[in-house]
Amino acid sequence: MYKIVEKKLLQNNICLMDIEAPRCATSGLPGQFIVVKMDEKGERIPLTICDIDKNRGTVTIVFQSVGDSTKRMFDLNEGDYFEDFVGPLGNPSDLIEKTPEELNAMNIIFIAGGVGTAPVYPQVKYLNEIGVNCDVIIGARTKDLIILEDEMKKVATNLYIATDDGSYGFKGNASQCLEDLVSHQGKQYHHAVIIGPMIMMKFTTMMTKKLSIPTVVSLNSIMVDATGMCGACRVTVGDEVKFTCVDGPEFDGFKVNFDEAMRRQTMYKTEEGKKLLRIQDKGTHSKNPYCDCKEEE
Residue 146 burial by CB count (10 A; 0-12/13-18/19+): exposed, middle or buried?
buried
209 shares a domain with 116: yes
25 shares a domain with 82: yes
Apex 270 CA angle, 264 and 276, nearest 5: 60
Spatial separation of the C-alpha atoms in residues 180 and 56, rounded to whole Å:
41
Residue 201 sits in a domain of what CATH number?
Answer: 3.40.50.80
pLDDT digits (tens, 9 = 90+) for 23-54: 999 999 999 999 998 888 778 888 989 999 99
User: Which of 14-23, 38-47, 75-84, 103-112 is least confident?
Assistant: 38-47
Report the percentage of the chain scoring pLDDT > 70. Answer: 87
The model's pTM is 0.85
CA distances from 209 to 52, 136, 218, 256 (A): 33, 18, 16, 12
231 shares a domain with 189: no
The response to whether 177 counts as a known ligand-binding position is: no
Residue 297 located in a structural domain: no
CA distances from 248 to 36, 43, 59, 72, 177 (A): 18, 21, 20, 28, 27
The response to whether 63 counts as a known ligand-binding position is: yes
Residue 21 located in a structural domain: yes
The response to whether 64 counts as a known ligand-binding position is: yes
238 shares a domain with 154: no
Q: In sequence order, what are the residues at sequence separation of 6 or more whose Cβ sits closer than 8 angstroms to the Cβ of residue 215?
A: 191, 192, 193, 194, 205, 208, 209, 252, 253, 254
Say if residue 282's pLDDT is above 70: no
Residue 26's CB: how many other CB atoms inside 10 A?
11
Q: For residue 288, name the pLDDT band (cuts at 50, 70, 90).
A: very low
Number of domains in the chain: 3
Q: Within 13 Å of residue 88, how many CA atoms lie on the same side as its CB?
A: 27
175 shares a domain with 118: yes
Look up the domain containing 14 and give its range: 1-87
Spatial separation of the C-alpha atoms in residues 178 and 110, rounded to whole Å:
10
Decide: 198 and 228 in contact? Cβ < 8 Å. Answer: no
121 shares a domain with 48: no
The response to whether 230 counts as a known ligand-binding position is: yes
The response to whether 50 counts as a known ligand-binding position is: no
At residue 152, what are phi and psi to the nearest 5 degrees?
Answer: -70, -35
The response to whether 233 counts as a known ligand-binding position is: yes
